[in-house]
Amino acid sequence: MKRIFAFLVFLILLVCSSKAQKPPSFYPFKGFHVGITGQAQFIQKSNYISLGGTDPAPRGRWSPGWGAGIEFSYHFAKYFGIAIGMNYATALAYNYDVYFSTVPYDDGWEEVNSYAEPWPPTLFNEIIFPIKLEFHYPLHKNLFFTAEAGVNIRGVALSLNNKKGTTGYYDRGTSFLVKTPSGYLSIMYYDQWGERDMSKIYCDLLLGIGLYYNLPYGDLLRFTAGINLSFSNTLEGDYLYYLTGSFGTFSIKHDFIYTQLSYIHTLNWQKAKKYLKKNDYSFTTKKERRKKIVEVLGNW
């Protein structure tokens, strides 16, 4: 009986010893993360509707945009996490081609009947808060598929600085410098003016997919692509061709396609260092310690 009891005690101690020596899992999607993000946006063209006159409506164009910021995330399950960010990014952008029926030429006007060359886009940047739910699934040892869904909240700063119902005016036009007997005269050819509710907070739908790559030292690189869909117009207004009296309306939504590159710090390097120190590992060089940390981080 004593021999059996001693054998059981020995087995228990052996199992406990094995568990104590086994390093903890350094799964990259665990706990809190902090990251930096940068993204390129391809913003949908504005919508123009002709209501009268001989000149066709301006032609909307896609506009470039950008964004950069920080992200805080918490992974509450093996495959799921939530993230909240704060980005300084393009929140309103538009561009268009004006139709020219005639243009100044020498001492008169020349008929051209064509759209003008593209103008530089008009961009307005604001602080935007993305909030999203994230799914990630391993495809390979250090490669993960990811999908994200959430909202982009914009207009918060403007709303805090403006009373309810405050209107913002956005104007852009085209004029010509025309030679006259008394000198040069500036003549307005085309103008558009839009209004925006400066107290309104916009909540856009965010959907994206991409890949994570787990770096040897525990941090993550993420590349995603997706879409941002607005539920309402950001800007609405009218346009007018002064020479022909042609007029109409226009509206601008903040729908865009995006590509984003992010660097995510997982804190796993620090966790691995603490683990080695706690278990009394000793190294003769920093290079040797670094190699051991990388080896430990591969254990998940």
Same-domain pairing of 85 and 207: yes
A 10 A CB-CB count for 139 gives 11
Q: Is residue 188 in some structural domain? A: no
Same-domain pairing of 143 and 278: no
pLDDT, tens digit, 9 for 90 and up, residues 137-185: 999 889 999 999 999 999 999 999 999 989 999 999 999 888 777 778 8
Provide the CATH number for the domain around residue 143: 2.40.160.20
Q: What are phi and psi of 253, to 5 degrees?
A: -105, 160
pLDDT for res 22: 54
DSSP calls for 49-100 = EEEESSSPPPEE--EEEEEEEEEEEEE-SSSEEEEEEEEEEEEEEE-EE-EE
Among 6-20, 23-37, 80-94, 191-205, the least confident range: 6-20
Name the domain count of the chain: 2
Distances (CA, A) of 40 to 19, 99, 225: 47, 29, 10
Does the pTM of the predicted model rise above 0.85?
no
Q: Is residue 103 in some structural domain? A: no
pLDDT, tens digit, 9 for 90 and up, residues 62-108: 999 999 999 999 999 999 999 999 999 999 999 999 999 998 887 77
Residue 44 has pLDDT above 80, yes or no: yes
Residue 8 has pLDDT above 60, yes or no: no
What range does the domain containing 77 cover?
Answer: 32-96+119-168+198-238+247-266
pLDDT for res 23: 55
Same-domain pairing of 259 and 161: yes
Q: What sign does the dihedral 284-287-289-295 (CA atoms) show?
A: negative
Rounded Cα distance between 60 and 237, Å, is 14
Burial of 163 (0-12, 13-18, 19+ CB in 10 A): exposed
pLDDT, tens digit, 9 for 90 and up, residues 199-231: 999 999 999 999 999 998 889 999 999 999 999
Q: Is residue 10 in some structural domain? A: no
Residues in the chain: 300
| C-beta separation of 156 from 201 below 8 A | yes
Residue 39 has pLDDT above 90, yes or no: yes
pLDDT for res 217: 85
Q: Is residue 190 in some structural domain? A: no
pLDDT confidence bin for 285, thresholds 50/70/90: confident
Calculate what percentage of the chain has a pLDDT beyond 70: 87
Rounded (10°) CA dihedral 147, 151, 157, 163: 170
pLDDT for res 108: 76
SS3 at position 285: coil
Q: Which two tokens stand for residue 125?
A: 């940047």
Q: Is residue 284 in some structural domain? A: yes
